[in-house]
Chain A
Amino acid sequence: MLLIVLILLFAAGIEVPKMLYERHWRDLFVFTLITITGIVLGILIQMQVRIPYVGVIITRLVEKYFINIFR
């Protein structure tokens, strides 16, 4: 998992100076937001923090509210 975080940092190391030099502030903001989300998520998974399963949440929600409409 740390490898994923390192690759994200490596990508940031390549892209961020370019964006700063070209003054693409919006690009920098979106790139930073996505990269930081990825790094935080990667670190949380690495630290074995219990994060709820996305698919399971969707499954429970659909079962609770929508499944009767369709079936």
Chain B
Amino acid sequence: MRLETGKISGSELIYIIVAFIFGSSILLLPGLGAGSMGWLAIILGLILGLGFASIYTALAMRFSGKNFVEISEAVFGRLIGKCIAFVFLGYLFYLGSLVITNYYDFIKLILLNETPSAIIVLFSVLIISYGVWHGIEVLGRVAQGMVILTVGLFLLLFVLLFNKMDINNFFPLFDLPLKQFWWAAYGAGTFPFGEVVAFLMVFAALNRPKRIRALVFKGMIYGGIILFLASIRTIAVFGHTMEIFVYPFFQTGKLISIADVFTRLEIISGMSFLMMGFLKIAVLLYGTVLGTAQVFRLNSYRPLVLPLGLLMGLVSMLNFPSVIENVKHANDIYPIYSTVFILVIPLFTLAVALFRKLLRK
């Protein structure tokens, strides 16, 4: 029995991927470790991410109509397959909690200082759970409107900041050790581009699975272009001083002033961050809930949406004591252990699938 009968179109998948990449990465801008070369780190990260995505799409095309839990069971057998799928779902769950942490840190630090964390988390999770409860089809439709609005506002603010940009902030080029630059690029490859691995739980809902690779690449490239522009904007405005800000991209919005009448437009950025964050957490919660229901062979995934969403929210409050620890984790630690989930597990699954096919021949 299929637990998810909803279907999404190719364009909806592209929109969801763009939102997913834009998601929390716009808060903790990837490639920051490369300083004024952050834009190049993002380009290299995108290329690396496309390499990762070719593994995911190869799996999705080989096992058309199946998500990662089903693929894992088909490749490794029921018991080992379920164990591997469970570990993968654990990653999706934890990643979801990390993204919630990023958002409530942001909301608490910038927007609602006096509001208790539990209230921020609770209402975010309730809205996200409501979206996930309605299934992937609804998320796909929501993504279209939200991404168009967000990208439009993003480009508008980009243009309004032209007079604050200084080309000299990009220089000197390659003023940091090559090792540090590669690390920043690898970091950008894992966060956010490698996180597209979560879509292994979504690809099965695509109505035209044959075009999957082109669609995923398109979504990632569009998302990468937006991140690249965000990086350019931040570096051009702040230069090396961006390192003193926790959310440098958001801070750029504060500098916009149109004839001293339209000021403090950073709230527009804040709103678009929240919309994209909603979609990213929703995709991760959807993957976790659907996968859990499949692993335990349940009749429906819907009853699990709210409890797992709230549990994700509770774990998010137990992630880091401060936003500084969070930023350190995102830059230095996350790229290391996430490699297991975004590269090792999918590559191993694909290799075993190919090997078993060879054995059958």
Tell me if B336 and A30 are in contact (CB < 8 A): no
Q: Which of A1, A34, A67 contacts B336 (CB 8 A)?
A: A67
Tell me if B307 and A35 are in contact (CB < 8 A): yes
Tell me if A27 and B314 are in contact (CB < 8 A): no
A67 to B318 alpha-carbon distance, docked (Å): 23
A54 to B140 alpha-carbon distance, docked (Å): 32
Label chain A's interface by main secondary structure. Answer: helix
CB-CB under 8 A from B126, the residues of chain A are 7
Q: Quick one: closest A residue to B123, CB to CB?
A: A3
Tell me if A15 and B325 are in contact (CB < 8 A): no
Q: Is B297 an interface residue (CB 8 A)?
A: yes
**Number of A-B contacts defined by CB within 8 Å:** 104
Q: Which of A1, A22, A52, A66 contacts B118 (CB 8 A)?
A: A1
A6 to B335 alpha-carbon distance, docked (Å): 37
CB-CB under 8 A from B329, the residues of chain A are 55, 58-59
Tell me if A55 and B326 are in contact (CB < 8 A): yes
Q: Quick one: closest B residue to A69, CB to CB?
A: B336
Q: How many of B's residues come within 8 Å of A, CB to CB?
A: 42
Tell me if A4 and B303 are in contact (CB < 8 A): no
Q: Which of B97, B296, B318, B333 contacts A30 (CB 8 A)?
A: B296
Q: Is B357 an interface residue (CB 8 A)?
A: no
The interface of chain A, by Cβ under 8 A from chain B, is 1, 3-4, 7-8, 11, 15, 18-19, 22, 24, 26-27, 30-31, 34-35, 37-38, 41-42, 45, 51-56, 58-59, 62-63, 66-67, 70-71
The interface of chain B, by Cβ under 8 A from chain A, is 94, 97-98, 101, 118-119, 121-122, 126, 179, 183, 292-293, 296-300, 303-304, 306-308, 310-311, 313-315, 317-321, 325-326, 328-329, 332-333, 335-337
A-B contacts besides A27-B298, A41-B315, A53-B319, 6 pairs, CB < 8 Å: A7-B306, A11-B303, A41-B318, A45-B318, A55-B326, A59-B329
